[in-house]
Amino acid sequence: MKLGFLVDLNLCMGCKGCEVACKVENEVPLSTWRLRVKYIDIGTFPDTSRSFTPLRCNHCESAPCERICPVSALHYLENGIVNVDSARCIGCAGCMMACPYGAIYMDPETNTADKCTYCAHRIESGMMPACVVVCPVQANIFGDIEDDNSNISQYIMEHQGAVQVRKPEKNTKPTHFYVGGGTQTLDPLAHERLEGYGLFNNVTHLEAIGDKHHSVLDRFLAPFESEEKYDNRSFVDFDNKDYKSELTQGDK
């Protein structure tokens, strides 16, 4: 058995239901994502179209993250899922350097590497991944790619010639496929990222990898401190001075 994913980008409408379901199901902390939907505008006004691309771990058959992990925190399950054992992770970030898809993040609460596991815990109980269940248009198709009769295998066969993976030149052999994608949507170098012009905010890069309050000294002291001091601290005392200054100006 080898589990795989296929996203039909022709069906995806960018509702971000999968993104939210993943966050809730896996308790993914703020500032990090196991699954995200990227909006890309193609063409020049007025002849433009918007495409939506869900991005998650590709669970590669030849996973660079698994190879570089020094302690096997990233490991294969029998069903082909690349799983993470956060209790073993040393936080070297080697996997983040190795993953060509930028799918791994440093969890700011545990300060260990984490990523999409195809909801391995749900699959173990016979359920589908949360993102599959929630998708209103069934754009996410999940199943056994070694079984010719599975829904995903049938879908791949029906769309022969139009099934793509991201960065095939990296030879990672992803088990995550796309239908209806193009260079502009799947290749990060094929679209411009105009810094500061996102729809909802102008934060383009994360301030820190992991918890921004987890300084070198804190890393060594953490086991001797109470949990309260560290739990969610990054998000409680966030810098809100821009908002405050806007309010002050508004009052005037």
Partner 1 sequence: MESTIHATQAVVSLDVALPGIIWGWMITLNMWAKSIGTGVILVGAFLLYRHKREEMPNLRWMMPLLAFIFLNIFLLFTLTDLHQPYRMVNIFLHPHWTSAITVGAWMASLFLLLITIMLIIGVGEELPGVPFKGCKLTAWGRNKGGLYDALFPFVVFLAIPVTLYTAIIMAESSARELWQAPAEVMQMMWAAFMAGASALILVSSNWSKEARRDLALVLAIATFFSFMMYMGEYFFSFKSAEGEATLAFVHSGGPYNIEFWFGMVLGFIIPFFIAVGNMKSDNKTLLRVAAILALVGLYMAKDVWLKIPQLLNLS
Binding site for partner 1 (CB under 8 A): 31, 33, 36, 38-44, 47, 50, 55, 64, 67-72, 88-94, 96-103, 105-106, 111-112, 166, 170, 172, 184-185, 188-194, 197-200, 203-206, 209-210, 214, 216, 219-220, 223
Q: Which residue's structure tokens are 């993040």?
A: 105
Q: How far does the chain reach from its first CA to its final CA, in angstroms?
A: 65
Q: What span, in angstroms and rounded, lies between the C-alpha atoms of 211 and 8?
A: 35
Q: Which C-beta is closer to partner 1: that of 216 or that of 236?
A: 216
Residue 227, Cβ neighbours under 10 Å: how many? 7
CB of 113 to partner 1, least distance (A): 8
Q: Which C-beta is closer to partner 1: that of 118 or that of 153?
A: 118
Is 199 within 8 Å of 52 (Cβ atoms)? no
Q: Which C-beta is closer to partner 1: that of 220 or that of 252?
A: 220
Q: What span, in angstroms and rounded, lies between the C-alpha atoms of 74 and 71?
A: 8
Q: What span, in angstroms and rounded, lies between the C-alpha atoms of 60 and 149?
A: 22
**CA-closest candidate to residue 182, choices 28, 21, 2, 40:** 40
Q: Which C-beta is closer to partner 1: that of 153 or that of 234?
A: 234
Q: Which C-beta is closer to partner 1: that of 36 or that of 159?
A: 36
CB of 136 to partner 1, least distance (A): 19
Phi, psi (degrees; rounded to nearest 5) at 38: -100, 135
CB of 243 to partner 1, least distance (A): 17
Q: Which C-beta is closer to partner 1: that of 190 or that of 247?
A: 190
Buried b (16+ CB within 10 A) or exposed e, 202-225: eeeeeeeebbeebeeeeeeeeeee
